[in-house]
Amino acid sequence: MTQFLDVIIIGAGPAGLAAGIYTGRSRLRTIILERGITGGQILMSDFIENYPGFPEGIAPFELMESFRRQTERFGAEIVSSEVMEIKPGTEGWLVRARKQEYAARSIIIATGSAYRRLGIPGEAELTGHGVSFCATCDGAFFRDRVVAVVGGGSWALTEALFLTKFARIVKLIHRRDQFRAEKILQERVFENPRIEIVWDSVIEEIRGKGKLESLRLRNRRNQVQSELNVEGLFVSIGMDPLSEFVRGLVELNEWNQIKVGKAMETSRPGIFAAGDVTDAFPQQVATAVGSGVSAAIAVDEYLQRLRPLGTPEHKTPGD
């Protein structure tokens, strides 16, 4: 049986939950569909110290649990289910999830992003056998061992610093001769005696039989190849937006992010987007929350311009 709603929010990370708080307060019939764990990728972090209002920092689970309770307090329902397809309906949009089909007058896509992979030999075979994408998930398995982190952004440096709690040595591999991370993270990395930086280098192959044993590196300046013996590799080279399921439905940019306007509207009337899946903001919790709020306010205004659901004058996205 199809359930009719005012808005469906796809994704229960910071952007989706923030949007749900506002659509709930606007008394819009709201369901939030989440394929994984409520809270999103932020739960992979060890600690959050740059979210306003928490001068001493806060644990990600604690912050997201507060988001969830506040969202549900205002009436939004969180459902565990993966969205497979969005298509036009007779009175809005149809959302086909694994467990059920839903119909709504509007949609907010807040699916976030996923870890980007290196795409080199050995990566797929050794993922879970020494290759990881989450230091907070797997770091404790590498106590007193030599591990490597690849990347040069804030996420990579945060992962490297976290790993020093467990690993004996952390080799931080970066393709350039300087980092692009926040300055405070760079200062902490340079001051940490357990972190050794490998500049101007890329990983060309991940080697090992059944488990990670070494990395084949190439120096980008002199093209010299070398082998680095490590027992763990943490890939921290960025995120890819989870937008494949709307390819061909809404306009994407060259990085597959959903293109949005000032009101977080997409190229299709009635469909909005927020958070890391969009081209709007840096990938930060605070900006994700702000974009979710903006999308929710825009949805409320959009629905006020439409006739009540089911009336002859009700407009559909194709009108």
Note if 134 is an active site residue: yes
- Flag whether pLDDT at 175 surpasses 60: yes
- Find the catalytic residue in 6, 138, 276, 300: 138
Mean residue pLDDT of the chain comes to: 92
Q: So what's the architecture of 123-235 in CATH?
A: 3-Layer(bba) Sandwich (3.50)
Over residues 136-148, mean pLDDT: 93
For the domain spanning 3-115+239-305, the CATH number is 3.50.50.60
Write out the DSSP string of 78-91.
Answer: EEE--EEEEEEETT
- Flag whether pLDDT at 312 surpasses 50: no
Sequence letter at residue 17: L
Rounded Cα gap, residues 16 and 34, in angstroms: 9
Of the candidate ranges 79-88, 181-190, 281-290, 294-303, the one whose mean pLDDT is the lowest: 281-290
Among the listed residues 14, 8, 229, the one whose alpha carbon sits nearest the alpha carbon of residue 97: 8
Residue 199, burial from CB neighbour count under 10 angstroms (0-12, 13-18, 19+): middle
pTM over 0.85: no
- Residue 315's pLDDT band (boundaries 50, 70, 90)? very low
Cβ distance 272 to 294 under 8 Å?
no
pLDDT at 308: 59
pLDDT at 2: 67
Cβ distance 2 to 104 under 8 Å?
no
- Strands 146-150 and 131-132, by their bridges, are unpaired
Rounded Cα gap, residues 233 and 59, in angstroms: 25
- Find the catalytic residue in 46, 134, 200, 279: 134
Q: Do domains 3-115+239-305 and 123-235 have the same CATH topology?
A: yes
Note if 138 is an active site residue: yes
Over residues 221-230, mean pLDDT: 97
Neighbouring residues of 11: CB distance < 8 A, sequence distance ≥ 6: 32, 33, 34, 40, 109, 110, 111, 112, 242, 275, 277
Alpha carbon 67 to chain centroid distance? Answer: 16
Instruction: Classify 307 as helix, strand or coil.
Output: coil
- Residue 55's pLDDT band (boundaries 50, 70, 90)? very high
Domain extent listing, the chain = 3-115+239-305, 123-235
